[in-house]
């Protein structure tokens, strides 16, 4: 990053001094009014801008928007929304979470985020991945069976574009490039920090290391601790490829309210409904009260509770996973905008300072 | 090969599913080899850090040494594999037809009248195929494994046409931490597929048995399956 948050601290032992980054992610979840009526896509998008602006005001380091193309996540052009947030903020870093690169053109993705970087004075980031989303494949005419090759070729081209200078490239997934100038150039001394979002495939971890991208572990169910070997795998693979260490981040869903009970009560019906919607195509089990109790408990993957509960869980998992970044995926299936604003406020004003305190006292 | 009580296992596939199955088998005292379509040298780091104790091998070597071969690769990759490589083997089919990963596979896949393991078994005509380990999410497989007799132990369905093979695989399922519930021949194994009543669910034995044996549940399941495949078409 170009300008690290000044209040960041280095954490962990085996991690070289990467700054602690605490962010928020949204998929542009289509929200409801307080009496349960769904808002329009357009209003949902405008609300996301307000949420991003509030995130900066309350001290959040990063605001990410995940690409989706569905009625319940009407968010296919997150970079446009991020540009709007960039114009209203000064400090917060802004990025995709994730960009579905395999059904996009790496040249266009570079151009859009390099433009965002210009508009935001170097605050843009990109997280590349799949985000367990598939809806962009039929939309743009790609075959899911080609996923591996699409992602492999396109991440490699994206890495090449980040180097700057005229690009020469040949592959099977887009037309060849010969000494092609790709603009806008990144400003002198600026980088476009790039991460790969990984859901649990070891080969994806190795690919991130090979290309020199940071690793974002998306942990949306089960025990986060089982991902600990992935951080080791990543750092050792980086070393094998002759690269310096790079930071590891964690993306996890959750909801913060004044008390544990309130957070669970607010989140549960919407979470259940959301997972029910996506269960068939993603193979998720529909949550039960028992599975929800596990996931929101100390061993589970959901960060749902009071600021203290959520902060403790974040700090514990960052240490367990050797990670220096956590992005909370807030909102779920219609949780009203006002509730999300309270969540963001509590996350920024109470969770983040508490996590910093816990991480500092632990090191 | 080893004796009958702790058969040697070959896991084919090192993505999400393969390492989870391999670790459970290692914990249960089995000798485990892991293989992908590529060079085992490329798997060495992954194996050392994520599946300590397993041996990365070329597929042919892993298969040759194994008493039980577990197919843990995406189904569309299996279709590129030479079926003769598995001749004479006891094979666990842990795969699913999963359009988000596999894309749209040609018929007879997605036909309502035939299960994917029946298609797999037909391709592997010289092997004995047993379907199991496919209906629990890879991220939950290790979370829910429990020693025999635990009150909160969960169940895995086992389907196969060869009763001895079903027994052998059921014993393996039991050792790695689950109650094995035979559901009948491979044809009946459709009840374990995506959209079925136990897919994605980690149920206790009595709930599992109730789910797979209730006609209403089955009807709902096949309705869901239709919806699942309908979307992908």
DSSP letter string over A148-207? HHHHHHHHHHHHHHHT-S-EEE--SSS--EEEE--SSPPPTT----EEEEESS-HHHHHH
Residue at B67 is within a domain: no
Residue at B199 is within a domain: no
**Of B192, B194, B115, residue with least CA distance to B156:** B192
Contact residues on chain B for A206, CB-CB shorter than 8 A: 45-46
Contact residues on chain B for A222, CB-CB shorter than 8 A: 137, 139-140, 143
Residue at B120 is within a domain: yes
What is the extent of the structural domain holding B182? 74-189
Per-residue pLDDT at B97:
93
Is the ipTM of this structure higher than 0.90?
no
User: What is the per-residue pLDDT across A237-294, written as a single tens digit (0 to 9) for each?
Assistant: 999 999 999 999 999 999 999 999 999 999 999 999 888 887 766 667 788 898 899 9
Residue numbers of B between 34 and 53 with CB closer than 8 Å to A? 45-46, 49-50
CA atoms within a 13 Å half-sphere pointing along the CA-CB vector of B171? 12
**Separation of alpha carbons A195 and A113, rounded Å:** 13
Sign of the C-alpha dihedral, residues B53, A238, B42, B92? positive
Q: What is the mean pLDDT of residues A182-195?
A: 91
Q: Could B228 and A281 be called an inter-chain contact, meaning their C-beta atoms sit closer than 8 Å?
A: yes
Residue at B221 is within a domain: no
Residue at A76 is within a domain: yes
Residue A127 near residue A196 (C-beta atoms within 8 A): yes
- How many structural domains compose chain A? 1
**Separation of alpha carbons A81 and A90, rounded Å:** 15
Contact residues on chain A for B99, CB-CB shorter than 8 A: 134, 144
- How many structural domains compose chain B? 1
Paired with A63 in beta bridges are A24, A94
* Nearest chain B alpha carbon to A225: B143
Which of B56, B103, B136 to mutate: most A Cβ within 10 Å? B103
Least confident range of A3-17, A113-127, B206-220: A3-17
**Of B190, B196, B194, B168, residue with least CA distance to B180:** B168
Here the CATH number for the domain that contains residue B138 is: 3.40.50.720
User: What is the per-residue pLDDT across A342-357, written as a single tens digit (0 to 9) for each?
Assistant: 999 999 999 999 999 9
Q: In degrees, to the nearest 5, what angle opens at C-alpha B139 toward C-alphas B60 and B132?
A: 55
Contact residues on chain A for B225, CB-CB shorter than 8 A: none
Per-residue pLDDT at A271:
94
Residue at A344 is within a domain: yes
User: What is the per-residue pLDDT across B58-84, written as a single tens digit (0 to 9) for each?
Assistant: 999 999 999 999 999 999 999 999 999
Contact residues on chain A for B221, CB-CB shorter than 8 A: none
Residue at B136 is within a domain: yes
Per-residue pLDDT at A130:
81
Per-residue pLDDT at B224:
43
Average of per-residue pLDDT values in chain A: 92
Q: Could B76 and A145 be called an inter-chain contact, meaning their C-beta atoms sit closer than 8 Å?
A: yes
Contact residues on chain B for A143, CB-CB shorter than 8 A: 103-104
User: What is the per-residue pLDDT across A51-60, written as a single tens digit (0 to 9) for each?
Assistant: 999 999 999 9
User: What is the per-residue pLDDT across A291-317, written as a single tens digit (0 to 9) for each?
Assistant: 899 999 999 999 999 999 999 999 999
Q: Could A279 and B200 be called an inter-chain contact, meaning their C-beta atoms sit closer than 8 Å?
A: yes
Q: Could A281 and B100 be called an inter-chain contact, meaning their C-beta atoms sit closer than 8 Å?
A: yes
Nearest-by-Cβ selection for B99 from A132, A144, A240: A144
**Of A204, A225, A190, A201, residue with least CA distance to A297:** A225
Q: What is the mean pLDDT of residues A87-92?
A: 98
Residue at A5 is within a domain: no
Q: What is the mean pLDDT of residues A125-154?
A: 89
Q: What is the mean pLDDT of residues A185-201?
A: 90
pLDDT grade for B112, boundaries at 50, 70 and 90: confident
Q: What is the mean pLDDT of residues A24-28?
A: 97
Least confident range of A65-69, A168-172, B80-84, B210-214: B210-214
B98 touches chain A (CB under 8 A): yes
What is the extent of the structural domain holding A304? 21-362
Residue at A6 is within a domain: no
Per-residue pLDDT at A188:
80
Per-residue pLDDT at B215:
57
Per-residue pLDDT at A36:
87
């Amino acid at each position: 990053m170009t300008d690290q948050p000044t209040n960041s601290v280095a954490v962990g032992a085996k991690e070289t001094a990467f700054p602690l980054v605490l962010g928020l992610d949204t998929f542009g979840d289509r929200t409801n009014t307080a009496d349960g009526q769904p808002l329009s896509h357009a209003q949902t998008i405008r609300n996301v801008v307000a949420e991003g602006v509030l995130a900066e005001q309350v001290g959040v380091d990063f605001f990410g928007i995940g690409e989706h193309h569905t009625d319940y996540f009407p968010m296919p052009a997150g970079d446009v929304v991020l540009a709007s947030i960039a114009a209203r903020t000064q400090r917060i870093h802004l990025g995709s979470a994730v960009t579905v690169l395999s059904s996009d053109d790496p040249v266009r993705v570079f151009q859009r985020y390099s433009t965002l970087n210009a508009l935001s004075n170097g605050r843009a980031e990109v997280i590349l991945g799949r985000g367990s989303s598939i809806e962009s494949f039929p939309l743009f005419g790609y075959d899911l069976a080609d996923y591996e090759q699409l992602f492999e070729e396109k991440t490699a081209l994206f890495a090449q574009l980040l180097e700057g200078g005229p690009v020469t490239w040949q592959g099977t997934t887009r037309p060849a490039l010969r000494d092609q100038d790709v603009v806008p150039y990144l400003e002198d001394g600026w980088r476009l920090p790039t991460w790969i979002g990984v859901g649990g495939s070891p080969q994806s971890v190795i690919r991130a290391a090979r290309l020199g991208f940071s690793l974002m572990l998306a942990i949306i169910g089960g025990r986060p601790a089982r991902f600990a070997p992935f951080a080791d795998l990543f750092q050792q693979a980086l070393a094998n490829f002759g690269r310096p260490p790079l930071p590891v981040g964690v993306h996890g869903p959750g909801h913060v309210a004044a008390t544990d009970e309130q957070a669970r009560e607010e989140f549960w019906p919407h979470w259940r409904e959301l997972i029910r919607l996506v269960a068939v195509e993603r193979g998720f089990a529909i949550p039960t009260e028992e599975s929800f109790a596990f996931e929101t408990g100390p061993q589970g993957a959901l960060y749902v509770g009071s600021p203290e509960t959520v902060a403790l869980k974040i700090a514990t998992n960052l240490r367990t996973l050797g990670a220096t970044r956590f992005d909370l995926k807030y909102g779920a299936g219609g949780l009203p905008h006002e509730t999300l604003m309270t969540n963001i406020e509590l996350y920024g004003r109470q969770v983040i300072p508490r996590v910093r305190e816990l991480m500092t006292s632990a090191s | 090969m080893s004796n009958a009580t702790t058969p040697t296992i070959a896991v084919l596939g090192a993505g999400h599913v393969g390492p989870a199955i391999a670790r459970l088998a290692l914990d249960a005292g089995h000798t485990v080899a892991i293989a992908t379509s590529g060079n085992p040298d490329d798997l060495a780091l992954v194996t050392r850090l994520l599946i300590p104790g397993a041996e990365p091998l070329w597929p042919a070597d892993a298969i040759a040494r194994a008493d039980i071969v577990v197919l843990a690769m995406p189904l569309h990759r299996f279709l590129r594999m030479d079926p003769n490589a598995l001749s004479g083997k006891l094979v666990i089919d842990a795969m699913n037809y999963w359009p988000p990963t596999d894309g749209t596979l040609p018929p007879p896949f997605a036909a309502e009248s035939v299960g994917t393991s029946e298609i797999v078994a037909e391709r592997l005509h010289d092997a004995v195929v047993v379907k199991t380990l496919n209906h629990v999410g890879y991220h939950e497989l290790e979370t829910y494994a429990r020693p025999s007799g635990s009150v909160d132990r969960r169940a895995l369905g086992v389907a196969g046409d060869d009763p001895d093979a079903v027994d052998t695989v059921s014993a393996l399922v039991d050792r790695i931490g689950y109650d094995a519930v035979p559901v009948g021949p491979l044809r009946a194994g459709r009840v374990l597929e995506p959209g079925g009543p136990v897919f994605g669910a980690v149920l206790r034995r009595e709930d599992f048995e109730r789910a797979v044996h209730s006609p209403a549940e089955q009807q709902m399941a096949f309705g869901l399956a239709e919806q699942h495949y309908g979307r992908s078409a």
